[in-house]
């Protein structure tokens, strides 16, 4: 959610008015945060009422890759999962081109982020993540996680020259351990399907019911599905836990938040025996994935307006913590 391609209201107003049934574009504003796409809040006016959407220009994903993400969001929304729903134009299309980039318009979810979540927020996320996995089980399209093992193997050699000897040893040893794990029979049998693969705190919204009491929040929804893929559901759960259930030291797991999220998830989709025994390695895999991507973004950055790369050392510390479990 950075801005790599600048957009002004005049660039889209005629297009919106002619091709869609969402009213007249009235305002557009770049969204700060994230590092992959150019995102904008898009306001329109229809029959005197303000409508809110999100316009995304895709900077890395291709037009051939994008139908998986957009159709998945539509599939989940149609099944009652609170996710942004792609908007169709008069021809029924959900994928467009803006300034030479693939683009989409989706509904804007209600609510706000809870970046310091309480256990009850973790429980809401765990329950809905399990419901999302089950709702996506019959999604007909498949696409590998583009930030999966093959990408780790390709990217590690690019970031290794920037690291200390200790970091090099940690990165290469963990990658080797994960290669063995991913090649195992046990890994192959783990349940899989459409997965978000990036369900961090800033990709979830909560709808406050009482401004003075966050414990009454309802889940507003999950968004930013553009790292999604067909992957092990346990990996998706591990990615989520590694961010939502951090202890005060920002590396270990907080037992209360962890129990709340895991119990809520398993109340909808209980883990099988192989998933439970694979859990420690999957927590490590989730930590490794984001350490590698943050190293890549930090040492090999792209130019963008409003772009601030995340601290890669955060996930180095998390990986060390998970290896000690």
Instruction: Output the pLDDT for position 135.
Output: 98
CATH 3.30.200.20 domain extents, the chain: 9-107
pLDDT band for position 302 (cuts 50, 70, 90): low
User: CATH number of the domain at 9-107, out of 3.40.190.10, 3.30.200.20, 3.40.50.300, 1.10.8.870?
Assistant: 3.30.200.20
Q: If you average pLDDT over every residue of the chain, what do you get? A: 95
Per-residue pLDDT reduced to its tens digit, 57-95: 999 899 999 999 999 999 999 999 999 999 999 999 999
Residue intervals of the chain classified under CATH 3.90.1200.10 are 119-323
Task: Please report the pLDDT score of residue 307 as a whole number.
Answer: 53
Checking DSSP bridges between strand 218-222 and strand 192-195, what pairing results, if any?
A: unpaired
What is the percentage of the chain residues whose pLDDT exceeds 70? 96
Does position 317 have pLDDT exceeding 80, yes or no?
Answer: yes
Task: Look up residue 73 and give its DSSP letter.
Answer: H
Residue 223, phi then psi, degrees to nearest 5: -140, -175
Distance in angstroms (rounded) separating the CA atoms of residues 110 and 106: 13
- On whether the CB atoms of residues 31 and 25 are closer than 8 A, the answer is no
Higher pLDDT, 307 or 260: 260
Q: Which CATH class is domain 119-323?
A: alpha beta
Q: Are 288 and 175 within 8 A, CB to CB? A: yes
Give yes or no for residue 1 having a pLDDT over 50.
no
First to last CA, the chain: 33
Residue 34 pLDDT > 60? no
Question: Residue 56: which of 194, 197, 224, 211 has the closest Cα?
Answer: 224
| Residue 173 confidence (pLDDT) | 98
Q: What is the pLDDT of residues 137-175, one digit of tens each?
A: 999 999 999 999 999 999 999 999 999 999 999 999 999
CA 202, 243, 258: angle at the middle one, nearest 5? 125
The pLDDT of residue 305 is above 50: no
Report the alpha-carbon distance of residue 316 to residue 35 in Å, rounded: 19
Q: Kindly give the pairing relationship between strand 204-207 and strand 192-195.
A: unpaired
Place of tokens 């895709």: 58
% of the chain surpassing 90 pLDDT: 91
List, for residues 167-202, the tens digit of each pLDDT value: 999 999 999 999 999 999 999 999 999 999 999 999
Residues 248-274: pLDDT tens digits? 999 999 999 999 999 999 999 999 999
Predicted TM-score (pTM) of the model is: 0.94
Phi-psi category of 65—alpha, beta or left, where left has phi over 0 and alpha has psi -120 to 50? alpha
């Amino acid at each position: 959610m950075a801005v790599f391609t600048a957009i002004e209201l005049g660039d889209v107003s005629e297009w919106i008015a002619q091709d869609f049934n969402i009213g007249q574009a009235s305002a557009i504003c770049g969204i700060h945060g994230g590092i992959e796409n150019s995102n904008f809040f898009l306001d329109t006016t229809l029959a005197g009422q303000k409508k809110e959407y999100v316009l995304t220009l895709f900077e890395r994903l291709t037009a051939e890759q994008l139908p998986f993400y957009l159709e998945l969001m539509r599939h989940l929304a149609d099944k009652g999962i609170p996710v942004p729903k792609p908007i169709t134009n008069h021809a029924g299309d959900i994928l467009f081109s803006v300034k030479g980039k693939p683009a989409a318009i989706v509904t804007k979810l209600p609510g706000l982020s809870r970046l310091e979540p309480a256990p009850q927020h973790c429980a809401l996320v765990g329950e809905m993540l399990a419901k999302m996995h089950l709702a996506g089980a019959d999604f007909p399209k498949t696409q590998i996680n583009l930030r999966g093992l093959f990408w780790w193997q390709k990217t590690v050699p690019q970031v290794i020259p920037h690291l200390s000897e200790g970091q090099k040893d940690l990165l290469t040893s963990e990658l080797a351990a994960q290669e063995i794990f991913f090649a195992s029979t046990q890994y192959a049998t783990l349940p899989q399907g459409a997965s978000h693969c990036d369900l961090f705190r800033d990709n979830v919204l909560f709808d406050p019911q009482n401004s003075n009491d966050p414990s009454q929040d309802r889940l507003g929804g999950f968004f930013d599905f553009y790292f999604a893929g067909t992957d092990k559901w346990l990996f998706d759960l591990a990615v989520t836990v590694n961010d939502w259930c951090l202890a005060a030291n920002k590396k270990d797991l907080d037992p209360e938040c962890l129990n709340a999220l895991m119990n809520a998830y398993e109340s909808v989709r209980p883990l099988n025996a192989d998933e439970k025994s694979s859990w420690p390695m999957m927590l490590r895999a989730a930590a490794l994935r984001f350490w590698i991507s943050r190293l890549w973004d930090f040492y090999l950055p792209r130019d963008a307006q409003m772009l601030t790369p995340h601290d890669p050392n955060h996930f180095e510390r998390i990986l060390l913590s998970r290896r000690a479990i």
